[in-house]
Amino acid sequence: MRRAILLSLAVVSAACGRAPDAEQAAPAAAMRELGAWSGTGNTTLGFVSESGSFRITWKAQNQNNARPGAFQLTVRSGISGRPMKVIADHQGAGGGSVEFGDDPRKYEFLVEARGIDWSIAVQEAFAPKRQP
C-alpha cells in the first residue's frame, strides 16, 4: 500500500513538472524607434505603425516658470483625422509614457502647446519570433 502511494506521488510529480519561467512562456516584445520630435507651439506629426502597438513618451518644460504653460497630445487617425486617444493633457512641466494599441495604419499626433517646450518619442512593439 505504501509503495502504491509513493509510486502515485512520483507519477503526479513527474506529470506536473516545473512551470515554465515567465520569460520562456511569454518573451518580451521587440521594440524599435519610430520617431522623435521636439518643438514649441502647435503642430501635426505623421507616422506609420506596422504593428499598431507602440509606446509614446512625452515631456513638457515651461518656457517661463512664472507662467506655467499647457500641453495636450492627441493620437489621431492619419487617414481621417479622427481623434483616437488623448495621451496627455497637462498644465506646466511634466512628462509620462503611455502604451497605445490599435491596428497597423497611418497615425498622426496633434500637439497643442502654449508656453511649453515639448518632446515626443515613439517606440513600436513587435511580437517576438517564436523559437521552434
Asked if residue 59 is part of any domain, the answer here is yes
Q: What dihedral do alpha carbons 53, 79, 37, 110 form, nearest 10°?
A: -100
121 domain-assigned: yes
Name the strand (E) or helix (H) holding 12: helix 2-16
* Domain assignment of residue 21, yes or no: no
The answer to whether position 131 is within a domain reads no
Q: Is residue 43 part of a domain?
A: yes
Query: What is the predicted pLDDT for the residue at 130?
Result: 60
How many domains are contained in the chain?
1
Residue 20 is assigned to a structural domain of this protein: no
* Enclosing domain of residue 72: 30-126
**Can you give the pLDDT of all 132 residues of the chain as single tens digits?**
545 444 454 544 544 555 555 445 556 678 899 999 999 999 999 999 999 999 999 999 999 989 999 999 999 999 999 999 999 999 999 999 999 999 999 999 999 999 999 999 999 988 766 666
Q: How many residues does the chain have?
A: 132
Q: CATH no. for residue 78?
A: 2.60.120.380
Answer whether 41's CB lies under 8 Å from 113's CB: yes
- The three cell numbers of residue 37 are 520630435
Q: Which of 104, 94, 99, 90 is nearest to 122 (CA)?
A: 99
pLDDT of residue 126: 81
The pLDDT value recorded for residue 128 is: 65
Q: Do the domain assignments include residue 14?
A: no
In a domain? residue 97 = yes
- What pLDDT does residue 22 have? 47
* pLDDT at residue number 132: 60
